[in-house]
Amino acid sequence: MIEKNIRSIFSEYPEVLYGFTDIAYSAYADTYQSALVFAVPFGEQLTIETYSEEMFEKGIQDAKKIVEKIQIRLKEMLCKNEIPYYIPPLAQDNEIDLTAPFSFKFAAVNAGLGWIGKNDVVVTKKYGPRVRLSVILMNEPFVYGEKVLHSNCPEGCRKCVDACPHKALHNVQWNSSSLRSDIIDYRLCNEKRSLYIKTHGRKHACGLCMAACPLGEF
Ligand code: SF4
Ligand code: SF4
């Protein structure tokens, strides 16, 4: 019933990718059984040729607006049906380890939406890495997606690695036992993007390693 209602809402957003996964692995497993994960394409599907930081940031913000609209629809439906839920924060709560309380990326991979690219973000077949993720935790059973266990990046591709101006990416193909530190020097990436805060009041969106990805339909 709830799954049917959720699927009905997403039928109004055919461009959005979504799936379900069990979250027995997570710190929230005592309270919630499952996660709904959805991926909204950035408003602008920029390539390295069309990239600008401002356009990239705008694409992220446009996707955020769609995420918020969908969240409102889902929350209304869940409240009406008296289904408890929790929307974990996307933002990192720890500037040292740069981790969020619930990994959207890990949930997306487990729900079958994509894999982790050499750029350390979720890469989907349809949009490459140009998506914004959102998650809702619920204590309900769903038909779960098929977990993705290894990278589907083309053999030998290293466009994201070469696009990083700070050499933060290690040219490592992900699999389900990879550590984030195998793939990216995340502290270096964060440090360089944080230099922007003084002048722009926000971190640099960067995204060169996403714009450089050849995957996705343009
Ligand atoms: S976001 Fe920018 S700095 Fe960070 S890994 Fe990608 S290209 Fe490098
Ligand atoms: S640029 Fe190539 S290696 Fe990097 S995420 Fe995209 S497909 Fe994978």
Which residues have any ligand 1 atom within 6 Å of their CB?
A: 119, 163-164, 166, 168-169, 184, 189, 192, 206-209
Can you tell me the distance from the alpha carbon of 177 to that of 74, in angstroms, rounded to the nearest whole number? 33
Helix segments in 11-103, DSSP class H: 53-80
Assign 192 a pLDDT band (cuts: 50, 70, 90).
confident
Give the pLDDT confidence score for residue 205 in this predicted structure: 78
Q: What does the domain layout of the chain look like in residue ranges?
A: 2-211
Assign 211 a pLDDT band (cuts: 50, 70, 90).
very high
**Hey, whose CA ends up nearest to atom 1 of ligand 2?**
213
Contact in structure between 190 and 145 (CB atoms under 8 Å)? no
More confident position, 103 or 99 = 103
Give residue 140 CA to ligand 1 midpoint distance, Å.
Answer: 37
Tokens of 33: 């059984």
Give residue 152 CA to ligand 1 midpoint distance, Å.
Answer: 20
Can you tell me the distance from the alpha carbon of 183 to that of 19, in angstroms, rounded to the nearest whole number? 25
pTM for this structure? Answer: 0.93
Give residue 102 CA to ligand 1 midpoint distance, Å.
Answer: 22
- The residue ranges of DSSP E strands in 131-218, in sequence order, are 131-138
**For ligand 1, what atom is nearest to the CA of residue 208?**
7
**Hey, whose CA ends up nearest to atom 3 of ligand 1?**
189
- Pocket of ligand 2 contains residue 159 by CB under 6 Å: yes
> Any idea which ligand is nearest the CA of 154?
2
Sign of the alpha-carbon dihedral angle for 190, 126, 113, 18: positive
The whole-chain average pLDDT of the chain stands at: 93
